[in-house]
Amino acid sequence: MSETRPEKAADPSGPLGFPVFRALWIATIVSNVGTWMHDVGAGWLMTSLSPSPLLVALVQTATTLPMFLLALPAGALADIVDRRKMLMAAQLLGLLAAALLAIVTLLDLVTPEVLLAGTFVLGIAAALSAPVFQAIVPELVDKQALPDAIALNSLGVNISRAIGPALGGVIVALAGTPAVFALNALSVVAVLVVLFTWKRPQTAGTLPPEHFFGALKAGYRYTRHSPAMRLVLVRAVGFFLFGSALWAMLPLIARHGLRLDAAGYGALLGCMGGGAVVGAILLKRLRRTIPANAISVGATLLFALSTLALALAANAWIAGSVIFAAGLAWIGMLTSLNVAAQMASPGWVKARALAVYLLAFQGAMTGGSILWGSLAAGTSVPAALVVAAVGQAAALILAFRWRLPRDSATDLAPSNHWAEPVVSVQPADDRGPVLIEIEYRVEPARLAEFVSALRRFCSVRQRDGAIRWDVWEDVAEPGRVVESFVVESWVEHQRQHARVTRADQLDQETLHDFHLGDRPPVVRHLLRPL
């Protein structure tokens, strides 16, 4: 699915100058306030229903597990269907789930199982929405404003984190958990109104839409063969697996360690949001002078120290200060990873690539929550936090092997520079497989250098659709090299033409510099006979 051109900004200095982005950003803050209120209510309610650290940690698991299970299917759908309609359907599901949970809790029919089930359905709605919300950002702002738009989205999440938990804690204390769940349902309406009024331009494609399972395979193939996406995934798992401990253990620290009520627990989460808001404001200035990788190293160290300090916190004031610092670190790492994931994914696969990133993020949070809950049940909550903090610091070694790039790293806009295949009769879309051969003539003395460069280009072929890739040297004619790759069908090869980027074009020009003669390399397309 192609990205649509955003409306021209009223204020070109920032993403809030784009009207639809601004309206959706504000509406999402309102919705996220409701989500954070639900998280406070659900976590606090579970501590009343069961004293088990594992069950309390499973509230976090019920929130994140749907993202792990559904992020990639949701991303595939978002790249082949109307993203606006998909968002509206997901938001309606969330509204219904929150309303039903409010009614069940009001009637005093809630049990640990019912609470986990309701939270799980809300997680499904979030899983269906998250890849789409991330993927539509380039449709709403221009490329220059994209990094700031991503940071602004993170700021919006953390503004709501600063408001929602504290407000949720007060409402739980004054009106009970059902009121929090009901207000969460009501908060979704703001997003639905913006989506309903958004006149999203339709882009007519020349190729037929991808099938669902084919789109799934293409998304997996892209992330597997894209070095930039693999880097983001490794760094995300390394951070969030250990970072999940603080989130999973915080309700128990608040209730049993610090003896706080619901309002106090909400205030703690509000400190996290406040720290994140301050961090997001500072981050825009820091990104101009400090590389993203250095920011990620500092953020990881600060979050590890915060996790360790929380395990040793003697009172609520110290815990609040520690959580504020954790918020600073969280937004620094989250924004760095989000920007890197956006910059590593072109428009045709953006929702799927970002879904895989979210899958790694939420999978690490889900697995980590179970791990730290089980460890705390067998030892103690402070012990689990200490182990997580040490693991977080040790995982910093990843930052030296897999370094996050700068924001302006690669141009992934379509280049459309491949010539159309020469055919006598246009093949049917489903004909295949297709064998493509490219014949190069290279100076024999430079052959090893050329083959090395060609092997590096292999990931581009595989990332965009090749299911097999090879390189051959003619033993009878030194310097004659044939690159070959196989694509599943004729239409998939046509999509390959549409997927090649300007960055790929530059790499391909480097390859062609090795080619001898005035004519370009000879390209052949071969189909298996019917």
- pLDDT tens profile 306-349: 999 998 887 888 888 999 999 889 888 988 888 888 888 887 88
User: Can you tell me the distance from the alpha carbon of 346 to that of 349, in angstroms, rounded to the nearest whole number?
Assistant: 6
User: Which pLDDT does position 346 carry in this prediction?
Assistant: 86
Residue 429 counted as domain residue: no
Reading across the β-sheet that carries 480-487, which strands appear in turn?
A: 466-473, 480-487, 434-441, 522-527
User: In this structure, what are the phi and psi dihedrals at residue 413, rounded to the nearest 5 degrees?
Assistant: -70, 145
Q: In terms of domains, do 338 and 466 share one?
A: no
For residue 368, what is the enclosing H or E element? helix 350-378
Nearest CA-CA partner of 151 in 349, 340, 359: 340
Domain CATH for 306:
1.20.1250.20
Number of domains in the chain: 2
Instruction: Say whether both 445 and 390 belong to one domain.
Output: no
> Domain for residue 1, yes or no?
no
d(CA 464, CA 487): 10
Q: Do 153 and 90 fall within a single domain?
A: yes
Nearest to 467 by CA among 500, 502, 432, 441: 432
Closest Cα partner for 94 from 177, 184, 195, 194? 184
User: Do 121 and 169 belong together in one domain?
Assistant: yes
Q: Which of 358, 380, 401 is the last residue of a domain?
A: 401
Q: Is residue 397, in this structure, part of any structural domain at all?
A: yes
Residue-range definition of the domain harbouring residue 57: 15-198+211-401
Q: Which of 401, 425, 450 is the last residue of a domain?
A: 401
**Do 148 and 266 fall within a single domain?**
yes
Within a domain: 359: yes
154 within domain boundaries: yes
Residue 427 counted as domain residue: no
Confirm whether 267 is domain-assigned. Answer: yes
- Whether residue 89 is found in the same domain as residue 188: yes
Are residues 393 and 468 both part of a single domain?
no
Residues in the chain where the model's pLDDT stays below 50: 1-3, 9-11
Q: How far apart are the first and last CA of the chain?
A: 31
* Whether residues 350 and 495 fall in one domain: no
Residue pair 255/263 in contact (Cβ under 8 Å)? The answer is no
**pLDDT on residue 273:** 76
Question: Residue 521 belongs to a domain with what CATH number?
Answer: 3.30.70.100
Together in a domain, 257 and 366:
yes
**What is the C-alpha separation between 480 and 450, in angstroms, rounded?**
11
- Same domain assignment for residues 216 and 343: yes
Residues 439 and 341 placed together within one structural domain of the fold: no
Q: Is residue 426 part of a domain?
A: no
